[in-house]
Amino acid sequence: MIRNLYDHLNKQFGYDMFRIGQEEVITSVMEGKHTLAVLPTGTGKSLCYQLPGYLLKGIVIIVSPLLSLMQDQVEQLKINGEKRVTALNSFLDPRERNQIIQNLQNYRFIYTSPEMLTNNGVLQKLKQIDISLFVVDEAHCISQWGPDFRPDYLNLRTIRSELNNPTTLALTATATEDVRADIIEHLNLYDVNQLVYSVDRPNIALVVEEAANYSDKVKKLLQFVKQLQKPGIIYFSSKRLTEEMAALLRNNGIAQSAAYHGGMDREQRILIQQQFLHNQLQVICATSAFGMGVNKENIHFVIHFHMPYQLDSYLQEIGRAGRDGKKSIAILLYSPGDEFLPLQIFENELPSDYQIEQFYLLNNNSSDKASLLNLTEIQLRFLTYYQNKYDKSEVEKHVKRIRDMRIQYKQNKLNEMIKWVKSTTCRREGILHYFQEQKVNNVTDCCDVCGVDIINYQTAFQDTIRSQNENWRLMLKNLLIRGDEE
């Protein structure tokens, strides 16, 4: 069977060898085992379901968290010659969506969102087709987003049951033991083969750079972006700042810079993503909405202008660098008080006591309630999801309890992040400890605590100068040695 896998790997994708974990995951799936795979970023997780898709009879359903990620995977498969692939999502106009739904049996790979699977028409049609593999890509989203931001992730257990419990593959790059337990519980995968590999990416140097204040942070950002070898991504928590900083970079001589965030229209986001993929843009100033759908191997740096609230997200985002195996660097810019921004964000994401009380008291429809109570889309989804989970007289109490638990959960995650940022010990060791791993290898240019030579990450021109200097030193040394011999 292994020889056969290698033959198909070469035939379908042109590769001679599997990357770390791929062969083991594919073998598990081919044997019909439910599989939870934690593979480091950049190891080609999509191959773990795409190759079985060509070997198994039936259709592969891939639950994906982002529209851009679905679109990227669909386009990649089409480039490789696969015509029987589609993305079933809100990008489609109603007529196009209905046409795809009516012809689901004609596809080999169907990408969709957890929200789309709750559509009764879609679910009924899926029941009529032969599903060989049910994939949950970026499966940590079940734990990270399910209880509040994307509650339909919590419905996947029921959907799997409705589809007669097909062989399931849950894929992620970052999952602590608790997160893996959440994934298993919410997908009902108690008889599951867990394949967990190290989250460590030794080729990514980890740097926390402290700035005295906001203006000092902007100054340091400009210095780094001018110096570092490109392309690169800079992450912000603010949509407004992505645009302001992209303009600032352009005004300071970094012309191939652009902003990307969820508030932009679809065509603009796709255009920027494609320009970055094809090296027409060198620096992207983005919110976390950018990254999952970017299959770009040569990203040399990732800078965080704002601190993520958890190490899980941080590791996901810096993992977009260095997928070609070459040296890359992750820099987090920190100034005192930065920790208050993520705290403010996740406290405001969820509804207040008043909004919860009034939502379940009012008899208006959801859209009217959203307007009357000034609810965000996230708050409305959260309140609507739990409305049908509890008795009418108890729902208010339970929703307040769930909200408080989520805020406390995120506070604990933030505390871990702050502890890591302010640590005076090896940063790589700190991340590995968080994911219940031990540091086993010494890494050159490990982190700012252990020591990083920034010149190793500067522009190709500066690298050339350095190489010339080293050659000059070698030539001088040879001359001196020759002189001694004479």
Q: What is the pLDDT along the chain (486 residues), one digit of tens a residue?
A: 455 899 999 988 888 999 999 999 999 999 999 999 999 887 889 999 999 999 999 999 999 988 778 888 888 899 889 999 999 987 788 899 999 999 999 999 999 999 999 989 899 999 999 999 999 999 999 988 888 888 899 999 999 999 999 999 999 988 899 999 999 999 999 899 999 999 999 999 999 999 999 999 999 999 999 999 999 999 999 999 999 999 999 999 999 999 999 889 878 988 898 899 899 999 999 998 787 757 788 999 999 999 999 999 999 999 999 999 999 999 999 999 999 988 888 888 999 999 999 999 988 788 889 999 999 988 998 999 998 888 888 999 999 999 999 999 999 999 999 999 999 999 999 999 999 998 887 899 999 999 999 999 998 544 444 444 455 455 555 555 544 444
Residue 228: the pLDDT is: 96
Residue 465: the pLDDT is: 40
Phi-psi region of 54 (alpha: psi -120 to 50; beta: other; left: phi over 0): alpha
Same domain, 478 and 361: no
Q: What is the value of pTM for the model shown?
A: 0.87
Nearest to 130, CA basis, from 161, 112, 159, 105: 105
Same domain, 122 and 37: yes
Q: Do 295 and 229 touch, CB atoms closer than 8 A?
A: no
Same domain, 142 and 14: yes
Q: What token pair was written down for 361? A: 């008291």
Q: Do 213 and 335 touch, CB atoms closer than 8 A?
A: yes
Residue 299 phi, psi dihedral angles, 5° rounding: -70, 125
Q: Is 17 exposed, middle or buried (0-12, 13-18, 19+ CB in 10 A)?
A: exposed
Q: Is 111 exposed, middle or buried (0-12, 13-18, 19+ CB in 10 A)?
A: buried
Helices (H) and strands (E) in the chain, counts: 21, 13
Kindly give, in sequence order, each residue whose CB lies less than 8 Å from that of residue 263, ignoring residues fewer than 6 positions away: 239
Last-in-domain residue among 196, 217, 242: 196
Same domain, 30 and 109: yes
Residue 474: the pLDDT is: 56
Same domain, 128 and 230: no
Nearest to 157, CA basis, from 123, 187, 112, 185: 187
Nearest to 184, CA basis, from 174, 169, 199: 169
CA atoms of 324 and 52, how far apart (whole Å): 24
Element spanning 101, H or E: helix 94-102
Q: How many domains are there within the chain?
A: 4
Same domain, 155 and 269: no
Domain span including residue 401: 341-414
Query: What does the DSSP assignment read for 170-234?
Result: EEES---HHHHHHHHHHHT-SSEEEEE-----TTEEEEEEE-SSHHHHHHHHHHHHHHB-S-EEE
Residue 483: the pLDDT is: 46
CA atoms of 435 and 198, how far apart (whole Å): 9
Same domain, 334 and 275: yes
Same domain, 57 and 177: yes
Same domain, 287 and 430: yes
Relative to beta strand 232-235, strand 283-286 is: parallel
Same domain, 269 and 285: yes
